[in-house]
Chain A
Amino acid sequence: MKDIVNNKVNNSEFLLNLYGDNVIASMTDPKGVIIFVSHAYEIISGYTKDELIGKPHNIIRHPDMPSETFRELWATIQLGNTWEGEILNLNKAGHPYWVKTKITPKFDSNRNITGYASVREDITVKKNLDKLHRQVTNVLDNIDEGFLIFKNDLKINENYSKKCLEILNQETIGQKNISDVLFSNSLEVKEIFDYAYREILNTQDDFSKELLLSLLPTEHYNDNYIFTLEYKLLINNECLILISDVTHQRKLEKIIKHEQQMQKMIIAIATHKKETIDLNVSFQKFLENIEDYPHSEENENTILEKLKRDLHTFKGLFAQLEMLYTTDAIHDIEAMIVSNDLGVELLLIFLKSNLEMAFNRDLKVITDILGDDFLSTSTFVNVELNHIKSVEKKVKMIIDNSHEDKAIFYDLLNDITSMQDQLFIDMLSIYSTTVKNISENIQKEMYPLKIIGDRKILVSDSFKGFIDSLVHIFRNSMVHGIEDSETRRTLHKDICGNISCCYELIDENIVLTIADDGQGIDTKKIIEKAIYLKIIEKNEVATLSEQEILKLVFHTGFSTTEELTSLAGRGVGLASVYHELLNLQGSVQIYNKPKIGLSFVFTIPHQQIRVNDIQKMYESEFLINDIITESKSFLQDDMNIEVSSIEVDTDFKLDSYYSTIKLSGHKEIFCILCVDEPLIDKIFGVFIPYEITDEEKNDIIKTLPDEIINTVVGLSISRFPKEYKELDMSIPILLDQAVIELLNNDNLSITKKINTSYGSLKCTIIMIEEDK
């Protein structure tokens, strides 16, 4: 029993102690003088029981507590009510602490207040946290920067600055995926962000983490803002992002940059007028033909690759001229080609409209400042002929050595060659001086030479020899045609002789007339002389037309005058004119009006064969080179047979093993591949490395050249110049006699031979023109 009582006492004591240790409790008399404090009270206040008892509660009062609180407190409890509230106190050491306090009055049996009991809860930590939270929220709400933290699951922490919502145009971003929120308008950027961040999480190496962090997008935009992004990795792979609104800055920069840009462009364009005009033309052409891209038979990737290459070239050219709208537009299109979200057809439509728009914007700036006709006026520059010649030489070398698409080089070569064209009138104008000089020399008065014709007609360099030879026509006219002034006077002719020279372009021919008002040619004298010189037989004369007789003057060694003067009559003069004329595939008519005058009318094809001709020559060379390259790589890479040399073979002979393939399209091309016996044996060994009977071997070995030619030519086609890529490759054919004859006769065939230590392989190309 006693034990039980003891136990009870012990229990009560334990409970009391527990209470006293944990509950901040106190009691006062009705005046507020402390009469009891719990142990917990002592601890939190820092005062001992002895120091507290008999003192008023304000011993722990914090000066920041408003006195109204205490007035209200007293008013409440003195009326016998319980007061509850939060109070900031100051402990003995001078540290503040917060308590949540409940004060209850004690009554005697007559309901007189005998004192007050109060219990408190320490809420300092909570109060401090609240304060901190308020401060943080305050900062986050008012800071003018976007500030957020996301965790390694890419979800955004709840605490972010309000500015984020504004910049990112969101209602809330807490718990949302960071890359969705930042890059919702660009899948590509989002992918890169996600990919890079995943790798940041995966890697343990801080250096790599930093490198990868630097690859994260640093600037992005949405409908309203342009913002920069700064990243900072925190512990636990959390990452802090500082988002700054740079819209205004960027806009200002853009305006300034734009102004500067315009200036730069105008300077660039004004100083590169010709380039601008050329680029203008070629780019327009490119845009016009853009729909043709997908119609080539190439697959989508090849088309895109080609498009990318073409665009890239244009981009470079536009950038050089500072035409940035177009440059930027091309840049964007390039990015689209890389991502290829649209598909080719749609891409091309998009491309055309976008590039046209950008290009026109650039053009508008140019014409606004430099005037509407800036781009339409043609320009002339002075270039030394040697310079052009050297460029031409280099291009020919490139054509020789290159396996790239050659079409552009032909174009280039054509351009370069035509650069050397001269104005026909300029070439003829030298004869004004000639006429004047001769007239002084032979003392025949002459009117100045009149040259009449379209000043703009250009002719190629190949006219030069002919033009030079014309000196003989002029000399002959003046020495033999134009009479001396005495004779002319008696003939009632103007005493001044007159030679006129006029030309025009008729049906692609230059028709050049050189006419004098001299005595003409005595056809009888021509006949006599021709018979005397044994150019014609006497009995032939009747069969000759007048024209034929007149043309005898062009015969070598023909001269009607007896004496040789220093100026005319050596008998070779007119012959050389005729020779030059034939070189140009021209013809001549002579109009002879005795006593009135003589006219030579030369008709010469205006477009002289030049690059096309070279091109043909070069083209078979290219094709053979491409095929030889593939053959070489076939031997070396596939067959493991070392190639020792490659040579041109001028003496074509068929080897015992050969195959022919016909490529047809706008041209017919025969390709013959011959392999000699030792080499075919070696190749056979690679194809069939195991033992077989001779009979089987003979069957198989015969098909080997077909096998090789299919592989080699098939691969070569992709290397061929553009216009040859569309050629159809037939299956190997039998070589017919007609083709073999062509091989020997026609200079359009070319053979190259690859030598190896085993034997040789020969490739021959024969190009057949459409009309053959």
Chain B
Amino acid sequence: MAKILVVDDTKIMRTTITRQLEELGHTVVGEAQNGYESVEQYKKLKPDAVTMDITMPKLNNIGNGIDALCEIKKIDPDALVIMLTSHGEQKLVIDAITKGSKGYILKPVTKNKLADVLGKINIK
């Protein structure tokens, strides 16, 4: 059981992912709807892992999920950030991994995919 921060710009995605994570036995300690908020939340909540939507609107110079990932990595180099991505975003995923993301999920997000990717980074 882990503390997880869910970041996505749409409410419906946040709700879905939160429910799936909770069904897997994790605790969603916070939700953020943009990169900027996610960084603030990360500072405050110190979650065990973050699920981060890769495309989100820009706010306070933090653009998409990758920007947010970099900011979070600055705060905590060991942060475990999982990117949520759609088809056709492979390049962004490659960028995210080189910038320290520890996993990715191709949307649609399912419980199995979440369990799988969290398992790989030893979050159970």
Is residue A544 within 8 Å, beta carbon to beta carbon, of the partner chain? no
Q: Which A residues are CB-close (under 8 A) to B103?
A: 211
Q: Mark B87-106, 1 if CB is under 8 A from A, else 0.
A: 01011011001100111100
Q: Mark B68-99, 1 if CB is under 8 A from A, else 0.
A: 00000000000000000000101101100110
Q: Which residues from 174 to 203 on chain A have a C-beta closer than 8 Å to any C-beta of chain B? A: 191-192, 195-196, 199, 202-203
Q: Which B residues are CB-close (under 8 A) to A212?
A: 94, 97-98
Q: Which B residues are CB-close (under 8 A) to A199?
A: 94, 97-98
- Least CB separation from A189: chain B residue: B90
Q: Which of A208, A211, A212, A215 has the most chain B CB atoms closer than 10 A to its own CB?
A: A211
Smallest Cβ distance from A188 to chain B, in angstroms? 9
Select B90's contact among A192, A208, A335, beta carbons within 8 Å. A192
Q: Which of B88, B91, B97, B101 has the most chain A CB atoms closer than 10 A to its own CB?
A: B97
- Least CB separation from B117: chain A residue: A211
A208 contacts B93, C-beta separation under 8 Å: no
Is residue A380 within 8 Å, beta carbon to beta carbon, of the partner chain? no
The number of inter-chain residue pairs (CB within 8 angstroms) is 32
- Least CB separation from A202: chain B residue: B98
Q: Which A residues are CB-close (under 8 A) to B98?
A: 199, 202-203, 208, 212
B97 contacts A195, C-beta separation under 8 Å: no
In the bound complex, CA of A192 to CA of B94 (Å): 9
Q: Mark A335-361, 1 if CB is under 8 A from B, else 0.
A: 100100000000000000000000000
- Least CB separation from B98: chain A residue: A199
In the bound complex, CA of A202 to CA of B97 (Å): 12
Select B104's contact among A195, A202, A211, A335, beta carbons within 8 Å. A211
Q: Which A residues are CB-close (under 8 A) to B97?
A: 199, 203, 208, 211-212, 215
Known contacts being A196-B94, A211-B97, A212-B97, is A335 close to B102, with CB within 8 Å? no
Is residue A690 within 8 Å, beta carbon to beta carbon, of the partner chain? no
Q: Which B residues are CB-close (under 8 A) to A211?
A: 97, 101-104
- Least CB separation from A331: chain B residue: B87
- Least CB separation from B103: chain A residue: A211
Q: Which B residues are CB-close (under 8 A) to A215?
A: 90, 93-94, 97, 104
- Least CB separation from A211: chain B residue: B97
B88 contacts A335, C-beta separation under 8 Å: yes
In the bound complex, CA of A252 to CA of B108 (Å): 26
Q: Which residues from 304 to 341 on chain A have a C-beta closer than 8 Å to any C-beta of chain B? A: 335, 338
Q: Which A residues are CB-close (under 8 A) to B90?
A: 192, 196, 215
B88 contacts A195, C-beta separation under 8 Å: no
Q: Which A residues are CB-close (under 8 A) to B94?
A: 192, 195-196, 199, 212, 215
In the bound complex, CA of A207 to CA of B93 (Å): 15
- Least CB separation from A339: chain B residue: B88
| B positions within 8 Å CB-CB of A | 88, 90-91, 93-94, 97-98, 101-104
A-B contact pairs, 12 of them (CB 8 A): A192-B94, A196-B90, A196-B94, A203-B97, A207-B102, A211-B102, A211-B103, A212-B98, A215-B90, A215-B93, A215-B104, A335-B88
Q: Which 3 pairs from chain A and chain B are nearest by CB?
A: A192-B90, A199-B98, A211-B97
